Amino acid sequence: MLTGGPNFINVQYFDHMRLRILELFQFSTRVVRKCSYIYKKLFSDDNSYKICVHTRVGDFTGFGESIVEEVSDAITRILIILKSHMKNTKRKFTLLMFGMDKNFLQSIKVDGSINKIFYVIDANLTRGEELNFASQSCDSFLSTASLSSYAFWMGFLMPNNRPIFYLPRKFYEFNTKQMLPKSWISLERDWIVYTKQK
């Protein structure tokens, strides 16, 4: 199974091995404890709904990188979807922003119903620790550079009951709608535009 390179291959080749893959990706006790400690330190008295957003720019330019306006619009759309399915309509939302370019992250405009924004880069986690922190912390996940192998593994390692959204991308023969798990929710451009115009 190929896991390296900027793009993963296609989930259809190994989705049937998901349980085995989760066993292989089990994190060490040290990593789990560290990430649990950070989570409790940040959110001990916070029961807000945590939306995790993965971004990738810079080295991913030309490969379906994250785009500020698309990310902002996608977050707005996700909030509408989530609120329509929540019994507690007054529940607050927190954004956990994953990405290496903090200036890019800070340029993303967010809906007024977002209570807090946390930039994961400030926690100085390793990539493995980030994956575990996401699996412990995220109530839902958005991949904004969905051809990224790292974004894929972040979503793939999430617990089964977490909704996972992505912005569809095409690059030569790569098409994320054919490559990603069928249970993941594709945020089509016309959905986002329609929502903004309503």
Euclidean distance between CA atoms 114 and 100, whole angstroms: 21
pLDDT of residue 190: 56
Q: Are 78 and 51 in contact (CB under 8 A)?
A: yes
pLDDT of residue 195: 47
pLDDT of residue 30: 97
**Cβ contacts of residue 34 below 8 Å, gap of 6+?**
129
* Identity at 77, one-letter amino acid code: R
95-129 confidence digits (pLDDT tens): 999 999 999 999 999 988 899 999 999 999 999 99
Nearest CA to 31 out of 159, 129, 152 is that of 129
Euclidean distance between CA atoms 32 and 111, whole angstroms: 31
**What's the pTM value of the predicted model, to 2 decimals?**
0.86
Stretches where the chain sits below pLDDT 70 are: 1-9, 60, 62-63, 172, 189-198
pLDDT of residue 189: 63
Euclidean distance between CA atoms 184 and 140, whole angstroms: 11
**Which of helix, strand or coil describes residue 117?**
strand
CA dist list (Å): 155 to 57, 143, 149 = 18, 8, 10
Is CATH 3.40.50 the classification given to domain 11-197? yes
Tell me the two tokens of residue 13. 């080749």
Domain segments of the chain as ranges: 11-197
Q: What's the full length of the chain, in residues?
A: 198
Give exposure, 47-82, as e/b (b: 16+ Cβ within 10 Å): eebbbbbbbbbeebeebbbbbeeebbbbbbbbbebb
